Amino acid sequence: MLRTLLNDEAGFIVSAELVLVATILVIGLIVGLSEIQHAVVSELNDVADAIGQLNQSYCFTGFSKAKQFGQGGDAAYTRGSIFNDVRDECDDNQCDIDCDAPIVEAPK
């Protein structure tokens, strides 16, 4: 019975194959997920660049309505408004990270 146990290696080969296959699958999964992460970040950067290109400037004039029947003044009026959109600091991927310059530590 002991001799049969020592000569039985049927499960060992299957276990070694499973470890090898599982290792290859995990390595492939890590590489694949890393590539997916890079692709998603790249596409989100493109979306951010597209939003940064939108011109949000606007301008509209005011209007007024005079009172009727010889009464002086305005019955109603609105004021105009204007806004000019300017380029932001990080539009079109001009900066990745804003960092302050390094400073020397004070003596303790």
The pLDDT tens digits for 51-71 are 877 888 889 898 888 888 777
Whole-model pTM: value is: 0.49
Backbone angles phi, psi at 64, to 5 degrees: -145, 160
pLDDT classification of 13: cutoffs 50, 70, 90: low
Do the Cβ atoms of 79 and 61 come closer than 8 Å?
no
pLDDT classification of 93: cutoffs 50, 70, 90: low
The secondary structure of 57-101 as a DSSP string is: -EEE--EEEEPSTT--SEEEEE--EEE-----TTGGG--S---PP
